[in-house]
Amino acid sequence: MLTGGAAAGVAGAVWGSGLAALRNESAKFYAASMGANFFLLSSTYIALDEIIADKLGRRDITVSSAAGAVTGGVYAGIIGGRVRGLQGAVAGVAAGAAYVVGREQFDRWRLSKAVERYEEKYGTAPAVYYPETKLLVEGKGPVKQLDLPSLLPASAKVSDEEIERRIQARFEELCRDDANTGMTEK
């Protein structure tokens, strides 16, 4: 989340500097303002996308569109009211959907180029199915899926009895420590 937010912040700062140069305004102000706005919007979008995908157990165009709708709607609504909030939600849906479509097209292009290069060098490549892009791609090796830990804490299901047992154990431990501390001070 922070990497994506930082990258968007840098892109916003560069965009702001260019806009300031065109408008003959303060480049520092525009770069800082737009960089902060891009960072805030992108990190919120990324966090919502992660949360929704984690809760639904899938990552597709509807998840990204929902994250875009909430992000765009909330921020535009804060700035300009209900009508702007609705416009921001629609723009967020479009941005989220465009992100997913662009990512899938890039993955298809990247995998097809890799297959072309492999076949030029080694001949016909064995077929491997890549579920992320829903393509039958020629390639060698396991399915490319990075298993990175989530930034969100996992929700552990703990029974009421276990919670009560832990509280009692901790209470007894604190009482023992208090009794031992009281004996050594005297």
What range defines the domain where residue 95 resides? 2-105
What's residue 142's pLDDT?
45
What's residue 184's pLDDT?
57
Instruction: Work out the pLDDT band at 178, boundaries 50, 70, 90.
Output: confident
What's residue 117's pLDDT?
85
Asked if residue 96 and residue 26 are part of one domain, the reply reads yes
Asked if residue 9 and residue 101 are part of one domain, the reply reads yes
Pairwise CA distance, residues 21 & 3, whole Å? 27
What's residue 128's pLDDT?
61
Asked if residue 95 and residue 9 are part of one domain, the reply reads yes
Q: Is residue 31 part of a domain?
A: yes
Residue-level length of the chain: 186
Q: Is residue 145 part of a domain?
A: no
Q: How many CB atoms lie within 10 A of CB 91?
A: 16
Asked if residue 170 and residue 89 are part of one domain, the reply reads no
Asked if residue 100 and residue 170 are part of one domain, the reply reads no
Asked if residue 89 and residue 11 are part of one domain, the reply reads yes
Per the structure, the count of domains in the chain is 2
Instruction: Tell which of 84, 105, 126 closes a domain.
Output: 105
Instruction: Tell which of 67, 85, 105 closes a domain.
Output: 105
Q: Is residue 44 part of a domain?
A: yes
Asked if residue 91 and residue 7 are part of one domain, the reply reads yes
**Residue 173 backbone phi and psi in degrees, to 5:** -65, -45
pLDDT digits 0-9 by tens, 15-68: 999 999 999 999 999 999 999 999 999 999 999 998 998 888 888 899 999 999
Asked if residue 99 and residue 9 are part of one domain, the reply reads yes
Pairwise CA distance, residues 48 & 72, whole Å? 12
Q: Which two tokens stand for residue 50?
A: 């992660």
Q: Is residue 81 part of a domain?
A: yes
Instruction: Tell which of 71, 105, 139 closes a domain.
Output: 105
Q: Which two tokens stand for residue 51?
A: 């949360």
* Residue 141 scores a pLDDT above 50: no
Using the Cα atoms of residue 131, residue 133, residue 138 and residue 141 in order, give the sign of their dihedral: negative
Residues 96 and 68: beta-carbon distance below 8 Å: yes
Using the Cα atoms of residue 118, residue 124, residue 130 and residue 134 in order, give the sign of their dihedral: positive
* Residue 91 scores a pLDDT above 60: yes
